Amino acid sequence: MRANWKEHREEIERNGLRVHPCSKETETIWNQIERDVGIAGNEKEAIVKVNAIDDSIFDVNSSRHRVVDSVAFYRRFHSEVLLLDKSCYTEQCAHMIKNVLAANGSCLTLQNGMGNVDILQRILGENRVLQGSTSQAAMINQPGSVEHTGIGYIKIATPSETVKPAATWWVKTLLSVGLAATPAGSDFERVLWEKLIINSAINPLTSLYGVKNGELRNSEAMKSLMKDVGVVVDVDCRLSRRVLLWQRRSE
């Protein structure tokens, strides 16, 4: 786990990452994960032991880079890797993933933003990447502690035929712990555009009105405004997508 906030990173290194479910639904999910994976925890929190590192991992001259950029750090190769980092770090993360991904393995990215699949396919291979999108919600409430604040969908698209078995495995695995995962076909760009529409409708309103995402649902006026903004953004995004497809066909 990449954690640049020093206090957050040090707390995770000392005591693990504490995950707090904030509803009966999220509590059920984490209870199931605790049983299946064998992680520590209780009804109030799950404690996940992870390696916390900062951005020095991307510095080739750093000893931290040499440590994490090796199979020994992860103990073994992995058949499946989940990428959740910011889009600006995709290329650096892809090179690290390449060193620990099994020969027949694949990488599922749940990142927002366009272009991540292209970067991952270039570095990992065209037939080793899946694109996902999620509306699961979480937030850091204090160093070493995360709240799972809301459940939502997880859509998994397959940019190539070869990764369909991996997508099936991810959907089955996520469903087994109560996470609502569904296959989303091969049109991974549609999955990204749909999430972009949602973010474009919600994020500006939270900034303008100084509220959190979940608080937008508490007001009928806000919900109506989100719907109006979403319709406008949807039209704009569909037009942009058509232009993008036309440009690619013209190349």
Q: What is the pLDDT of residues 217-241, one digit of tens each?
A: 677 777 677 666 654 444 444 544 4
Q: What is the rounded CA–CA span in Å between residue 193 and residue 165?
A: 24
Give me the pLDDT at residue 58, please.
Answer: 66
DSSP secondary structure code for residue 76 in this structure:
S
> Confidence class of residue 247 from pLDDT cuts 50, 70 and 90?
very low
- Is 195 known to be catalytic? yes
Q: What is the pLDDT of residues 88-110, one digit of tens each?
A: 989 988 988 888 888 889 999 99
Alpha helices in 61-187 (DSSP H): 63-68, 71-74, 90-100, 116-124, 164-176
Give me the pLDDT at residue 218, please.
Answer: 73
State the catalytic residue, choosing from 24, 98, 172, 195: 195
The better pLDDT of the pair 233, 54 is held by 54
Least confident residue range of 8-22, 26-40, 143-157: 26-40
Average model confidence (pLDDT) across the chain:
79
Give me the pLDDT at residue 202, please.
Answer: 75
Give me the pLDDT at residue 242, please.
Answer: 47
Contact 129, 159 (CB under 8 A): yes
The better pLDDT of the pair 172, 65 is held by 172
The better pLDDT of the pair 141, 74 is held by 141
Give me the pLDDT at residue 226, please.
Answer: 66
Give me the pLDDT at residue 116, please.
Answer: 93
Report the 10 Å Cβ neighbour count for 56: 14
Report the 10 Å Cβ neighbour count for 75: 8
Q: What is the rounded CA–CA span in Å between residue 182 and residue 170?
A: 9
